[in-house]
Amino acid sequence: MKMNKLFFILAILLQLQSVLNAKTKFSDRQVATMIPKYFARDHNSPQITRTRVYAEDGKKVLHLDIEVNRNRFENQMEYALSAMASVARYALRPFDKFVLIMVPNSRQFDTEKVDAKAKCTIDYFVFKRFKNDRWSKQCVKIEKI
């Protein structure tokens, strides 16, 4: 009898621990509204012009348009992808792809589109499981539009 009670209490404690460790999940709309708040924390962050969540070819996409300063182009691209990865990992249903449109503040430069695989981008920026070379070769594609 005492052994059954002990197993019952142990089972309840293990379940309680897993419930407490579970991270909160957010809807697509909530994730899209969190992105501008994430950018607002840093005064050096690029200006957001558009945030969207949509489906394309059966894949869930987080899309972000930003205005970039060509002097800080590389840092702003990485900042935006890092922000997308940090916030998107809390989505109820995981994202498959990140799309980042970078509109320069000068007419001399072309607008660029970054397509990034969501899972490996999250692994690179959040969990540090990828090296920069591997991430840039396997996960990211940059093209001028």
**Tens of pLDDT along 26-72?**
888 898 899 999 898 888 889 999 999 999 999 999 999 999 887 77
Candidates 113, 105, 42; CA nearest to 79 is 42
Does residue 34 fall inside a structural domain?
yes
Does residue 8 fall inside a structural domain?
no
Q: What angle do CA 58, 63, 66 make, to 5 degrees?
A: 165
Does residue 11 fall inside a structural domain?
no
Q: Which alpha helices (DSSP H) does 1-72 contain, by range? A: 2-21, 28-40
For tokens 């916030």, the residue is 87
Rounded percentage of the chain residues whose pLDDT exceeds 70: 88
Indicate if the pLDDT at residue 19 is higher than 60.
Answer: no
Q: So what's the pLDDT on residue 83?
A: 93
Does residue 2 fall inside a structural domain?
no
Does residue 9 fall inside a structural domain?
no
